[in-house]
């Protein structure tokens, strides 16, 4: 359960004069982010179509209702996929047989060191995990906070520089003045789920990894209706969206450099114009 609701340009380089004015650690972090942002896109832009298919993505939460759709759409676009799962038998039964799909055992709650080998050698990670309802009051924090942090740290250790997170709208509801929003109240009754997700987002943004954080509204399992509305962070506080469309946005983020270092919120509306995702990403200010 990833959420209980439901023209390529490079990141600007640091000007030499600015670099001299910044502390060395800050300048190094900026340069790391700039290089990370361009690596995968440069390969895609310069490689023939047959080579693009070798680009490999690790999907955490691959047997979930959103993660499964991400896997299917990645395979359809010719990506190699490493599907992380806590249940190999379930994954074999739910994911499509494909020569470009490899299943691995990966539990984000078991720590970064155990995840390193699962993500080593991939070009990017899509995190579509979410806690399963149980009697464990700490489940949201184990998965949606510590689990995501573990995956980010595994990426840093393995040299993976691209990370897509499926989060949720209203994670920053308190700062948005939405403390009395029924959805914010209900979701945080389940172990402060939205607070856990927000803390994980903050870790990603501090990590130096090239990230895109996708915050969908209420998730539905029905086929898409309407078109995608994409807004900057802390804008949307209601609305829903098909998991299929969420998967489309997550996959497009890997193909579109305009998505780098951005937090986007998405819902679907029948009256929304049908705009290319690349244009929508481009319209969002970079963090």
Confirm whether 181 is domain-assigned. yes
The two beta strands, 262-269 and 227-232, are antiparallel
Confirm whether 27 is domain-assigned. no
Interval 232-246: pLDDT, tens: 999 999 999 999 999
Confirm whether 31 is domain-assigned. no
How far is it, in rounded angstroms, from Cα 106 to Cα 251? 21
Confirm whether 161 is domain-assigned. yes
Interval 98-122: pLDDT, tens: 999 999 999 999 999 999 999 999 9
pLDDT at 5 over 50: no
pLDDT at position 134 is 65
Q: Which domain holds residue 199?
A: 47-283
Task: Tell me the CATH number at 148.
Answer: 3.40.50.720
- Determine what percent of the chain is predicted with pLDDT higher than 70: 80
Mean pLDDT of the chain: 86
pLDDT at position 37 is 45
pLDDT band at 137 (very low <50, low <70, confident <90, very high): confident
pLDDT band at 50 (very low <50, low <70, confident <90, very high): very low
Query: Which pTM value belongs to this model?
Result: 0.82
Confirm whether 59 is domain-assigned. yes
pLDDT at position 135 is 67
Interval 69-97: pLDDT, tens: 999 999 999 999 999 999 999 999 999 99
Confirm whether 126 is domain-assigned. yes
Confirm whether 165 is domain-assigned. yes
pLDDT at position 51 is 42
Confirm whether 62 is domain-assigned. yes
Specify whether the backbone of 63 is left (phi greater than 0), alpha (psi in -120 to 50) or beta. Answer: alpha
- Find the range with the poorest average confidence among 4-18, 103-117, 261-275: 4-18
If one counts the domains in the chain, the total is 1
């Amino acid at each position: 359960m990833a959420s209980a609701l439901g023209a390529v340009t490079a990141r600007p380089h640091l000007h030499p004069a600015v670099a001299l004015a910044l502390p060395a650690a800050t300048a190094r972090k900026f340069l790391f982010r700039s290089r990370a942002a361009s690596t995968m896109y440069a390969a895609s832009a310069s490689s023939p179509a047959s080579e693009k298919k070798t680009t490999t993505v690790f999907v955490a939460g691959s047997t979930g209702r959103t993660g499964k759709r991400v896997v299917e759409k990645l395979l359809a676009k010719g990506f190699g996929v490493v599907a992380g799962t806590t249940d190999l038998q379930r994954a074999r039964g739910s994911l499509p047989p494909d020569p470009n799909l490899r299943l691995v055992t990966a539990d984000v709650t078991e720590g970064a060191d155990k995840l390193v080998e699962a993500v080593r050698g991939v070009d990017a990670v899509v995190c579509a995990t979410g806690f399963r309802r149980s009697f464990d009051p700490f489940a949201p924090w184990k998965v949606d906070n510590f689990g995501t942090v573990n995956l980010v740290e595994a990426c840093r250790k393995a040299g993976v520089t691209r990370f897509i997170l499926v989060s949720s709208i209203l994670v920053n509801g308190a700062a948005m003045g939405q403390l009395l929003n029924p959805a914010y109240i209900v979701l945080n009754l389940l172990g402060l789920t939205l607070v856990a997700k927000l803390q994980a987002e903050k870790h990603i943004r501090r990590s130096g990894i090239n990230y895109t954080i996708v915050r969908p509204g209420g998730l539905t399992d029905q086929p898409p209706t309407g078109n995608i509305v994409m807004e900057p962070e802390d804008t949307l506080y209601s609305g829903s969206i098909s998991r299929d469309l969420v998967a489309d946005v997550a996959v497009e983020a890997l193909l579109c450099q305009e998505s780098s270092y951005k937090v986007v919120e998405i819902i679907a509306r029948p009256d929304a114009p049908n705009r290319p995702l690349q244009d929508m990403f481009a319209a969002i200010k970079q963090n």
